[in-house]
Amino acid sequence: MKSIFKLLLSQFLLLFLFSCSNEYQIVSNEYKVIEVKNEQDSTIIDIILPYKTQLDKEMNQIICYTKSELKKGKPESKLGNFVCDLSLLKADGMADICIFNNGGLRNIIASGNITVRDIYKVMPFENELVILDLNTKEYYDLLKYVANSGGEPIGGVNIIAKKDTIITAFNSKEIIRVLTTDYLANGGDNMKFFINKEQKKIGIKLRDAIINYCIEKDTIDIKIDNRLIFENGE
């Protein structure tokens, strides 16, 4: 079994190298079902082990400490507040508000030490931070979206929604600069008010922004501050 695996691996590597050259083209291919047994190839393990050891060292690095568990939720959450507020700081005054989506935050951060691996679990995607300009109507559509969804991670604004009415410290600017990810800026999660808007990249991925913030801090203590309040009364 091991010899077959080595043969297949060597053939794959040769095929890969040839295909990377402009002088070669794949003119045909063949698919076969090959039985795989639950056996470990010590040669492959020996090749991978140094890289795995180095990766584990980097991923297990402690970069911060949180006093409480950070998890997503609605209408607001500690995890959502944490990610939005640090992103606004990273934007350094270039954005008025920040919005993400609950679905994009993929895991909790347990209380105690925070590692690089923890942040990768929260944000496994390669999403970049971008800024878009919205007019007042588009901005109000954004606020309605947040209210109708029952809450999304947001920063830089307080929203009180009562039935079909949104009461908020409405931005008096004609143009509101919104910080988000390129995924949402392209209309992801049905955020249609962002579609066809110019995206101004600030030059960092959301995951890296979180990691950098944690490295700069020794301890974080995230609070629920009632930035989102939804009332059901008349």
The Cα-based distances of 207 to 112, 119, 125, 155, 185 in angstroms read 19, 7, 8, 17, 17
> In this structure, are 120 and 6 located in the same domain?
no
**Do 132 and 225 belong to one domain?**
yes
With respect to residue 66, please indicate whether it lies within any of the assigned structural domains: no
Cβ atoms of 130 and 185 within 8 Å: the answer is: yes
**Structural domain of 183:** 71-231
Cα separation, 136 vs 109, whole angstroms: 35
Q: Specify the pTM.
A: 0.79
Among 41-50, 90-99, 141-150, name the one with the lowest average pLDDT: 41-50
DSSP letters for 150-161? T---EES--EEE
Tell whether 139 is covered by a domain. yes
Q: Check whether residue 135 and residue 21 sit in a common domain.
A: no
Q: Which residue has the tokens 């911060």?
A: 64
Query: Across the strands, what pairs with 229?
Result: 160
Does 116 share its domain with 6?
Answer: no
Mean pLDDT of 58-82: 97
Shared-domain flag, residues 103 and 207: yes
For 91, the enclosing helix (H) or strand (E) is: helix 78-91
Write the pLDDT tens digit of every residue in 138-147.
Answer: 999 999 999 9
63 inside domain: no
* Same structural domain, 226 and 172: yes
Q: Any idea what the CATH number is for the domain that residue 86 is in?
A: 3.90.780.10
